[in-house]
Amino acid sequence: MRGVALRKTVMKPLIRATSLLFSVLFAGVSFAQHEGHDHAASDTTHVHEVVIPTADVHDGHPNEATGEAHDAHGVAKFNPGEMIMGHVGDEHGWHLWGHTSLPLPILVYNTQRGFSAFSSAHFDHGHKTHGGYMLHEGKLVATDAADGTDAHHATENEALTKATWDLSITKNVLAMLVSVVLMLMIFLSVAAAYKKRGTSAPKGLQSFIEPIILFVRDDVAKANIGPKYERFMPFLLTVFFFILINNLMGLIPIFPFGANVSGSISVTFTLAAITFVLTLINGNRHYWGHILAMPGVPKPVLLILTPVEILGVFLRPAILMIRLFANITAGHIIVLSFFSLIFIFGEINAGLGWGVSIFSLVFTIFMSMMELLVAFIQAFVFTFLSAMYLGSAIEEPHHH
């Protein structure tokens, strides 16, 4: 059908372009940070004149979420790198607007200190220590400083940090819980509708969800796994809708949405790990035979091919993990970069900022439309490839 043809001709180059932009942007961010450090080091003896809007300049404490660093005169400086990374990353506490953020529970287990729980508000956006812990560049680290000490002057106790397990309900964890509630609401209502209506025509939300479920069943599961597809349907459907809903939630910029859950490498790692384990468990003799000793291949070539195939077993889920993470994060970074342009130009001249904002808005809307497509495509790709790997694991030998 046309959808598939479109995906091939248009989406492939676009996805590639997105990934390229992503890498370029990342290079830019790291470059900017280096510059910032050099600047801070060389500028200690000079008169304060901030040229480069980066973090760690002078005694300003950057606010990760707003990307603001204050120079010596107390004037807020906009830092795009900080702002973008603050938004695509995870955080303890959920930044809402300006200097307002929702405090979240910090749950931490230390093998020496035991378990402790308190609100992230005690950290005062990473400025203060509490309960023997503090935030260092967004990460929870152990310290020996007393409660309420300025975190920028407290030293980290590295040995204790190594013994620390941060189990906090962070922004991403909370967003994931919201998505779980959302999924339960959607699917319990759809399931109830099937119970009530039976085989008669679907209605309302049910008629919206049914084609998507059938699409996953027919075009993803049946096409790749074959007659034994039913066993994997719960997994494939859950993964598909989990990724799709979290992708879409990430595109809505207001609380409780806007967290970058499916663009978090730990989330995609876990999803890929489930696929990996399922493939290992379900792999039959035929599957392992093909990996360890590909039939019809001469012995000397096998010596090279077998390590490659074994590597492939680990590489496939690894690439699955990176693909989802990179695509979703890239989209968020691009949208945030267009936003940043407004403020970068606005700092030069207010009128220029307003002028640029028109273009920024147009590009942001365009990118958001792209992201809407990518949200579906990446959920599809992840599920499709998972099904393909599972299919190859349970495939029975062909008789020619």
Q: Which residues of this protein are in contact with other proteins, per CB under 8 A?
A: 1, 4-5, 7-8, 219, 222-224, 294, 301, 304-305, 307-309, 311-312, 315-316, 318-320, 322-323, 381, 384-385, 388
Q: Is the Cβ of residue 334 or residue 381 nearer to other proteins in the bound state?
A: 381
- The answer to whether residues 202 and 193 touch, using CB atoms and an 8 Å cutoff, is yes
Under DSSP, the state recorded for 120 is G
Burial 223-233 (b: 16+ CB within 10 A, else e): ebbeeebeebb
The structure tokens listed for 267 are 């989330």
- Residue closer to other proteins (CB basis): 166 or 309: 309
CB 18 within 8 A of CB 330: yes
Q: How far apart are CA 211 and CA 208, in angstroms?
A: 7
Peptide bond into 256 cis (omega under 30): yes
Cβ-based nearer residue to other proteins, 274 or 305: 305
Nearer to other proteins, 1 or 201 (CB): 1
Give whichever of 96 and 311 is closer to other proteins, judged by the CB atom.
311
Nearest distance in Å: CB 327, other proteins: 12
Q: How far is the CB of 290 from other proteins (least distance, A)?
A: 10
* Structure token pair of residue 315: 């590489």
Which residue's CB is nearer to other proteins, number 307 or number 351?
A: 307
Q: Is 293 left (phi over 0), alpha (psi -120 to 50) or beta?
A: beta
Look at the chain and count its residues.
400
Q: How far is the CB of 297 from other proteins (least distance, A)?
A: 8
Q: Pull the structure tokens for residue 369.
A: 């439309």
Rounded Cα distance between 385 and 121, Å, is 42
Q: How far is the CB of 23 from other proteins (least distance, A)?
A: 13
| Residue 13 preceded by cis peptide, ω within 30 | no
Closest approach of Cβ 293 to other proteins, in Å? 14
Cα torsion for 225, 227, 231, 233, to the nearest 10°? Answer: 60
Minimum Å gap between C-beta 374 and other proteins is 14
Helix (H, G, I), strand (E, B) or coil at 293: coil
Q: How far is the CB of 16 from other proteins (least distance, A)?
A: 10
Distance CA 261, CA 325 (A): 9
Task: Enter the DSSP assignment of 357.
Answer: H
CB distance 80 to 36 below 8 Å: no
If the CB atoms of residues 84 and 220 are measured against other proteins, the closer one turns out to be 220
Q: By C-beta, is 5 or 201 nearer to other proteins?
A: 5
Phi/psi for 369 (5° steps) reads -65, -45
Between 222 and 286, CB nearer to other proteins? 222
Q: How far apart are CA 143 and CA 129, in angstroms?
A: 8
Residue 1 CB, shortest distance to other proteins, in Å, is 5
Smallest separation, CB 63 to other proteins (Å): 36
Residue 230 · residue 347 · CB < 8 Å: no
The nearest distance, CB 261 to other proteins, in angstroms, is: 23
Determine the Cα–Cα distance for residues 220 and 239; give it in Å rounded to an integer.
12
Is the CB of 167 or the CB of 388 nearer to other proteins?
Answer: 388
